[in-house]
Each structure stands twice: as structure tokens, then as C-alpha cells.
Amino acid sequence: MERDLAPEDIPAAAQGSELTIEEALDRPDPSPDPEPGSDDGGQPGATVAAAHDYSGIRWPDQAHAPDFAWIAGLEAPAKLKLSPETFETLFKLNRYTPSREASVIAFALRGATLDDGHSAIERDEVALTLAEPNHRNFRCVIGFYFHKEGKISAFTGSTVPCRKAVYGSKNGGDASNMLPTGLYTYYVWRHKKLKPALRLGKSKSDLESGGRATVLRNSADLMLDTTDTFSPSTPLDNVHCSYYLDENADLGAQFSSWGCLTVRGTKAPSHEWAKFQSVLKDVGLKSRVDLILTTGKEASIVANSGNDAEKLEPTLGALRQGSRGDEVKRIQQKLGLEASGYWGAETADAFTGRQRALSRDAGKGPVADGIYGRGADALTGWSVFEDGVA
């Protein structure tokens, strides 16, 4: 098993292996996302009869949705005002130390929609409403936190695979996945022929290889839930345009994704994707841009509780992908891993396996969500957290 290293500790690629953007665009992108055949907002696709029955694809209830199960019992107001303070509190609660070398930190909220239109540009706060995610419609918000200016730009998007991708994973199609919540390191680079886009890269000197992540893959049915498989891989779950604006009958969705995060707009570029790309152009190619992927529910609890990290710690303090520090080291030691203090794909893989086994032994079934909160601390009996709350 590989050792988890923080992005800045990954050795540089061998000299001469770095490609220019022009050279990269001439090479096939190994991302599993197929290249959509139309860039016009999906109108031709709307006239094509769907080849498959997607009616069985559904989103699990909160008690069985991996990113929501650990807080299923908590109440969250349906409305929230997303602010810079909300992000800073989420960073503290999850032991994230996002890179601030670029002018922005990217974000994605799974399960939320904008209250006013499809974009909000450089706001002090952004009004959102919680929404249950699905694999068909835009039910997520993606954007940028300008950490120096204290501003937020937010856009309509999706953080889940489309219905065709979920269907195909169990019926002979290209394998899809869903990126769990966490803090991920992206770089301003490309997705297939799209440039610039945000790429889940291995390092600044090796953008093409892709960064490792432990992703969720549906295994038993057409639903991604806590009984499904967490798979360590190099998924190339990049951030790119949705390609479509209206539902495409073949995809069974308004967006084309086999695991990537998508911003509403076409390849042209158009709509919110054009605005998203304008920020990337200002940031500059090869720049590191960390991205916090969280749920709308967590953001709502934080925002509506006054962004008070100390008050929220006993309920929302957690460790997962991208977390750092001594608490992560304690978990790695318990799992028999080298204690790097950075929670990456290998720690996620080892922990979800242990969590599933312990849950089965506790009579809860073979379930895992990959999040080490107070519930997981009680399940393991490891007393990982400094405050001793179990």
C-alpha cells in the first residue's frame, strides 16, 4: 500500500516529462467521461429516444447516503446564506489546510441550489436552498471563494454522475464513480479538449497522470449508498462544463458526467461555464486550486449556527479526504499505516474497510461512509479526538 503524502510532498516528475498545454491536447485524455457529440445545449439529444430504462435510478435516503448518513439525525434549515466565514469554519471542523497560493479556493456543495438564477458573482454572501441530489438535474452549486477579498462566486452545477453512467456501471457500460466529500487538490489545466478546466492532478509537475482518490462505485443496484464499494483509483474526476443545458434523453440528465464535477454550460463556452473559465484564466494555467467538496446540509448547519467552530465541533468535527494533523496520524497508526498525518486515498481505503467490518460486527450491516466523526470514534473505540468527546 502506498503512503499518503500531502500534495506539496509528492516528488516532482522526472525532468522532461512535463507537457505544454498544446502537447497535452494532442494526446487522448484517459478520463472515463465519454466526449459528448453535441455542444449546442443538448437540443438534438432531446429528440433521441432513450435506449435504457433509467427509472430505477434513485438517490438514497439520508441514513444511507454516504455523505449524509453521519449527520442524518441533525436538523438543517432549508435556507442558508453562504459566506466566507462558513468556509473558514468548515476548514477548521474538518482539519483542512487548503492552499492559498492562488487567489481562489474552489468549492462544490452537493445538494443545494441558488435562490436567484444560475450564478452569483463576487458576493459577500450567497443565498441557497437545500435540495436532494439526483443523477438527472442540477442539484449542486460549484464556485470560488476569493479568500483575500472575502467574496464568493457561485454557479449551478452537479457533483454526481449522470443516469446513463450509473446505469452503465451495472449493465456493461463505462464504469462511473462519485467523488466523496473532502478537500481535493486541483490544477488549472484541461479536461479532454477543454481548456482551461480544473484537473484532479497528481502534482504541478505531472498534471496528466491524475491524482489518486478513493471513490464510490455502485455495486449491487442502481443507487450509490453506504453498502457500495469505495475504490482507490486515479479517477480523473475533473471540473468541466455540463455540455448540455436541458435534459439529454440518451444521458437521462442535464449534464454529462461519469464522475466529474460539472458547471452548467456548453463547450462553446457558454452560460455559467464561460464565467467559471474566466476565473481560471485569471488564476493561470498550472496553478494549484484546492477544492472543498461538502454537502449543502453541512454548510447550512454551519451558516445557521453562526459559523461557530467551537460550538459545532462535537457534532460536525470530522476527518476525511484532505484532513491533516495528529488526529489523522492516530487513525493511520490504528490502521497499520505509515503515519504521514495526511488523509489521502490509502487512508480512505483502509478506513472504509475497517468501518464496514466494525459496522457488520455491531449489527448495522456492512456499511461505510468514509467519514471519521464522533460516531465513528465511538464505533472504533479509538478516542482519536483531542477533546475526548465520543
pLDDT exceeds cutoff 50 at 66: yes
Distances (CA, A) of 332 to 183, 336, 342, 370: 18, 6, 9, 14
Output the average pLDDT for the chain. Answer: 93
Asked if residue 248 and residue 295 are part of one domain, the reply reads yes
Whole-number Å distance between alpha carbons of 330 and 337: 10
Which one, of 186, 231, 211, 64, lies nearest residue 132 by Cα?
64
Q: Which residue among 302, 328, 351 closes a domain?
A: 302
209 vs 244, more confident: 244
184, 199 Cβ separation under 8 angstroms: no
Classify residue 173: in a domain, yes or no: yes
State pLDDT tens for residues 165-185: 999 888 777 789 999 999 999
Asked if residue 324 and residue 224 are part of one domain, the reply reads no
Asked if residue 373 and residue 292 are part of one domain, the reply reads no
Asked if residue 213 and residue 338 are part of one domain, the reply reads no
Instruction: Name the one residue in this structure whose C-alpha cell is 464561460.
Output: 274
Helices (H), the chain: 21-25, 43-46, 84-93, 163-170, 271-283, 296-304, 309-316, 326-334, 345-361, 374-380
Which one, of 182, 214, 203, lies nearest residue 5 by Cα?
203
Asked if residue 335 and residue 298 are part of one domain, the reply reads no
Q: State the first-to-last Cα distance of the chain, in angstroms, to the nearest integer.
A: 30
Q: What is the pLDDT of residue 12?
A: 87
Classify residue 11: in a domain, yes or no: no
Asked if residue 330 and residue 296 are part of one domain, the reply reads no
State pLDDT tens for residues 320-371: 999 999 999 999 999 999 999 999 999 999 999 999 999 999 999 999 999 9
Asked if residue 353 and residue 251 are part of one domain, the reply reads no
Asked if residue 173 and residue 248 are part of one domain, the reply reads yes
Q: Which residues pair with 197 in a beta bridge?
A: 189
Asked if residue 291 and residue 157 are part of one domain, the reply reads yes
Q: Which residue among 271, 302, 333 closes a domain?
A: 302
Q: Which residues pair with 60 in a beta bridge?
A: none
Q: What is the pLDDT of residue 41?
A: 43
> Quick one: CA torsion of 23, 209, 201, 35, rounded to 10 degrees?
70
173, 271 Cβ separation under 8 angstroms: no
Q: Which residue among 260, 277, 302 closes a domain?
A: 302
Q: Which residues pair with 49 in a beta bridge?
A: none
Average pLDDT over residues 253-262: 97
Q: What is the pLDDT of residue 174?
A: 78
> What CATH number is attached to the domain comprising 327?
1.10.101
Please tell me the total count of domains within the chain: 2
Classify residue 267: in a domain, yes or no: yes
Asked if residue 350 and residue 295 are part of one domain, the reply reads no
Asked if residue 128 and residue 273 are part of one domain, the reply reads yes
Whole-number Å distance between alpha carbons of 275 and 265: 9
Asked if residue 210 and residue 133 are part of one domain, the reply reads yes
The mean-pLDDT minimum among 45-49, 230-234, 274-278, 372-376 falls in 45-49
Whole-number Å distance between alpha carbons of 17 and 271: 35
Classify residue 388: in a domain, yes or no: no
State pLDDT tens for residues 9-41: 999 887 556 788 899 999 898 888 888 865 444
221, 234 Cβ separation under 8 angstroms: no
Q: What is the pLDDT of residue 17?
A: 60
Classify residue 234: in a domain, yes or no: yes
Residue 261 belongs to domain spanning: 20-302
Which one, of 16, 340, 33, 90, lies nearest residue 210 by Cα?
33
Q: Which residues pair with 157 in a beta bridge?
A: 140, 263
Q: Is the dihedral of CA 193, 196, 201, 206 positive or negative?
A: positive
Q: How confident is the model at residue 141 (pLDDT cuts 50, 70, 90)?
A: very high
Classify residue 366: in a domain, yes or no: yes
